[in-house]
Each structure stands twice: as C-alpha cells, then as structure tokens.
Amino acid sequence: MPEGPELHLASRFVNEACGGLVFGGCVEKSPISRNPEVPFESSAYRISASARGKELRLTLSPLPGAQPPQEPLALVFRFGMSGSFQLVPRDMLPPHAHLRFYTAPPGPRLALCFVDIRRFGHWDLGGEWQPGRGPCVLLEYEQFRGILDLWHPKDPPPPSKAPSRTRRARRGLPEQTTAQQPKGTSLQQDPEAPPVTEKGRGGGNLVLSGGPSSASSSGEGKGTTEMGSPGEEGMAV
C-alpha cells in the first residue's frame, strides 16, 4: 500500500521522467473509473508533480501560445492500495490505466498513466490538499517532531498516573493530586490495617503474617498461634 515515502518518490519520478516532455490533447479517463472527468485540453502543456503526506498533486501548465487558451489545472491524487504512475509507449498502455496524458508530436509518442489495479485510488479537481492533515513527515519534519514530543514526552509520568493525566487533559480538567483522591480509590494497603491472615501449610495451623515476630507454621518461634489436636491441652501461644 503506497504511503508517504512512496508518493514522494512518485512525484520525483513524474518530474524527472516528464520534465523534458510536451503533452497535448485531451486527458483521457477509462470508462470503468468512477472518478471525475478531467475537463482539460491544450495543444501543448507540461506536467509537474509535488507530494505532501499521502497525497500527490499533478499540475498541468499550458505553454505560451497553446490552443485553446487554458488556465493551469491541478489534480490531487490519493493512491489507495495500488495506485502508481507509469510512463509507457502510447500503443502499449498497461491494464488498469484509469487516467492517461498523451505527449504531443513531433516528440516520442508516450503516455503518462495513473495505474490502479484495485481501483481504490482517487483524484480531485482543484489541487487543494485535504483539510485537517498534519505536517508532512518528509517536508515539515520539525513541526511533525514537535507534535510527537507533545504526545510522547522524553520524561513521561509514572505508568500508574499516565492514563489519568491523559484523560483529564483531554477533558480540560485540572490535574488531581494524591491528597485529593477520594477514600477507597488507592490500591495501596493502609499501614494501620491489621495483618492479613494466611492459612498455614500444616493442617489446622494459622499463621499471622506481616508482624515482626512471625515465624513458620511449625510453631518454633514466638508470635505463632497453633491450634492443637483434640488430645492436647488447650492452645499454645
């Protein structure tokens, strides 16, 4: 699937391959394409290209004295999944050449074709870049990098607070400190809470864990509470 670098290379290809060529006549669209017709006709014009992000702009510029008089026309292409430009002999058009620009005599009889096998590509008249696009990573790298640094700072907050900060920033709410958090929201255990009782490995033994005098379930240390068997006297602490 063509991405930004591929469209940038396609614009360079058009400029290098078509820089010395003169085109003429009508722009021809295949009958099966659902894209708009290109209402442009000139006896002599040149083609140039530029790219920004995932869009490529093709400019058709009539030469002085060309007939009929025509203003320059720009087309913006989005390549979809399989779009590309090919320069081929006029009598050897490739399949799926949905838009064709023919050279004018007496030069070589060539055709610049927009080839799109899967037909997800699209072109628009007018030459305006799609609104709402961010800066181009190839041509506006500093602006692009600034946005990345804004969303991914070099010193990110701790993982436990990062989601909360992000959500609150999107809602325009002030940052909430730990002291402002309501009761019961912290996952940390209350230091004043009694230790959690764990079942010992031995049958019927209870071990109080977390205290300074805790020991193994065998009852060898102080601070271990054992429940004796029915034959023993009471409870040993």
pLDDT for the residue 196: 58
234 CB-contact burial (10 Å; exposed 0-12 / middle 13-18 / buried 19+): exposed
pLDDT for the residue 94: 95
Q: Are 119 and 23 contained in the same domain?
A: yes
Q: Are 126 and 77 in contact (CB under 8 A)?
A: no
Give the domain extent around 205: 196-226
Report in angstroms the alpha-carbon separations of 208 from 103, 198, 215. Answer: 91, 7, 8
pLDDT for the residue 117: 94
Q: Are 9 and 105 contained in the same domain?
A: yes
Show which of 125, 147, 167 is a domain's final residue: 125
Q: Are 112 and 101 in contact (CB under 8 A)?
A: yes
Its pTM stands at 0.59
163 CB-contact burial (10 Å; exposed 0-12 / middle 13-18 / buried 19+): exposed
d(Cα 41, Cα 129) in Å, to the nearest integer?
23
d(Cα 40, Cα 103) in Å, to the nearest integer?
14
User: From the candidates 3, 175, 198, 232, which is the catalytic residue?
Assistant: 3
Catalytic (active site) residue 161: no
Q: Are 24 and 106 contained in the same domain?
A: yes
User: From the candidates 2, 55, 62, 226, which is the catalytic residue?
Assistant: 2
Q: Are 219 and 114 contained in the same domain?
A: no
Show which of 125, 156, 186 is a domain's final residue: 125
d(Cα 9, Cα 236) in Å, to the nearest integer?
85
Q: Are 118 and 209 contained in the same domain?
A: no
Spell out the alpha helix ranges (H) of 49-208: 141-151, 162-171
142 is a domain residue = no
What CATH number is given to the structural domain containing 10? Answer: 3.20.190.10
177 is a domain residue = no
Cα–Cα–Cα angle for 146, 150, 155, rounded to 5 degrees: 115
Q: What's the total number of domains in the chain?
A: 2
Residues near 235 by beta carbon (within 8 Å), at least 6 away in sequence: 225, 226, 227, 228
The C-alpha R_g of the chain, in whole angstroms, comes to 37
pLDDT along the chain (237 residues), means of 10: 82 95 96 95 97 92 94 95 95 96 93 96 87 71 74 67 58 58 53 58 48 44 44 45
236 is a domain residue = no
Q: Are 114 and 95 in contact (CB under 8 A)?
A: no
147 is a domain residue = no
d(Cα 41, Cα 220) in Å, to the nearest integer?
101
Catalytic (active site) residue 54: yes
Give the pair of three-digit tokens for residue 159: 């993982």
Catalytic (active site) residue 183: no
User: From the candidates 37, 54, 69, 72, which is the catalytic residue?
Assistant: 54
Query: pLDDT (tens digit, 9 = 90+) per residue, 68-80?
Result: 999 999 999 999 9
- Write down how long the chain is: 237
210 is a domain residue = yes
User: For 178, which DSSP code?
Assistant: G
Report helix, strand or coil for 11.
helix
59 is a domain residue = yes
Report in angstroms the alpha-carbon separations of 148 from 26, 151, 164. Answer: 45, 5, 19
Report helix, strand or coil for 162.
helix
69 is a domain residue = yes
217 is a domain residue = yes
pLDDT for the residue 112: 98
